[in-house]
Amino acid sequence: MEKSAGRRLDRWERIGAYHLTTLSVLFIAVYAIPILWPGLDPRWQHICQIANLVIWALFGADYLIRLVLAPHRRRYLRSHWFDLLVLVVPVVRPLRALRLVFALKVLNQCAETLTRGRLAVYVGGTTVLLVAVAALAVLDAERGQPDSTIQTYPEALWWAVVTITTVGYGDFAPATAEGRLVALAMMIGGIGLLGFVTGSVTSWIVDRIAAGEAAEQATRQDVSSLLDEIRRLRDEVADLRGMVATGTPPPPDNSSPRA
């Protein structure tokens, strides 16, 4: 029974992976359009809001289906508590930007599968996506606030780059609680991403050095063997010259096969 339920869950996750990825891209698009174009026709803004809610409801339905199909539901809840948190908490308006976390999580899983073995592509794509989405979230929270210095997307994008790299110039900073939550997520994500990149680059350098040392050691061994062979040949030539000078016949060659 448990194996059958596990197979059903695996089958549903395989089928739903591509649909969730498509929904995540659409969700980010309908979230971004009203932010990037604040003068958009109210009807289109309303359509984007409805699409946002519909996609979010589909995310919730997918989670419930996976929970029902899971052979151990309590264990599934414990292992997927973060998914449930980002699905429920963003109902509160100040935490609406957390909806993007679920979309980013799905896209990250897709990118990890597509770029497996290509670290540079995976890290580069993840970084660009994180910066772009964080800039959208902080602009959504900060635009129109009297004490905020972030009022345009280029300003938000610059702030996101400065924050994720931990440079922190301080020329732009969020003033709202929602914007500061986005900043906190960016700081944590930036530290984790930089640590991941640093560790990966360090591992690559160590591997290259080890490979170079191994190749150098093999070359030294080859050179040593070649020198030994040259010395042996030189000694044989010297012996032959001495025999010729004294008229001594050379020893018979026992290496040739007998008739």
pLDDT at 154: 92
158 has a pLDDT exceeding 90: yes
How far is the C-alpha of 172 from the C-alpha of 162, rounded, in Å? 9
What is the distance between the alpha carbons of residues 161 and 215, in angstroms, rounded to a whole number? 41
Maximum average pLDDT range among 92-106, 142-156, 205-219, 243-257: 142-156
pLDDT at 248: 63
Could you tell me the two tokens for 206?
Answer: 């160590």
Give the integer Cα–Cα distance in Å for 87 and 77.
Answer: 13
- Dihedral angle of Cα 108, 126, 134, 85, to the nearest 10 degrees: 20
Q: What is the reported pTM?
A: 0.62
- Tens digit of pLDDT for each residue in 24-64? 888 888 888 888 888 888 898 889 889 888 888 888 888 88
At residue 164's C-alpha, the angle toward residues 160 and 169, to 5°, is 70
The larger pLDDT score, comparing residue 1 to residue 21, is at: 21
pLDDT at 66 over 70: yes
For residue 112 the two structure tokens come to 């990890």
Q: What percentage of the chain exceeds 70 in pLDDT?
A: 71
pLDDT in tens, 94-114: 455 666 666 766 666 665 555
Do 69 and 9 meet the contact criterion of CB atoms below 8 Å apart?
yes
pLDDT band at 259 (very low <50, low <70, confident <90, very high): very low
Question: Strands, DSSP E only, in the chain?
Answer: none
Q: Does residue 4 carry a pLDDT above 60?
A: yes
Residue of 211 and 96 predicted with greater confidence:
211
Gap between the Cα atoms of 77 and 66, Å rounded = 10
Reduced to 3 states (helix: H, G, I; strand: E, B; else coil), residue 226 is helix
Three-state SS for 165-193 is CCCCCCCCCCCCHHHHHHHHHHHHHHHHH
How far does CA 158 lie from the centroid of its chain? Answer: 22
pLDDT digit string (tens) for 164-194?
A: 887 878 888 888 888 888 888 888 877 777 7
Q: Is 52 within 8 Å of 26 (Cβ atoms)?
A: no
Cα 139 to Cα 6, 159, 180: the distances in Å are: 42, 10, 11
Q: How remote is the C-alpha of 97 from its chain's centroid?
A: 22
H helices within the chain, ranges in order?
A: 2-36, 42-69, 73-79, 81-88, 99-114, 119-142, 153-164, 177-246
Q: Is the Cα dihedral 55, 59, 60, 64 positive or negative?
A: positive
Task: Fill in the amino acid letter for 165.
Answer: T
Q: How many beta carbons lie within 10 A of that of residue 138, not counting itself? A: 32
Domain coordinates in residue numbering, the chain: 1-99
Round to whole Å and give the CA distance between 111 and 126: 8
Containing H/E element for 140?
Answer: helix 119-142
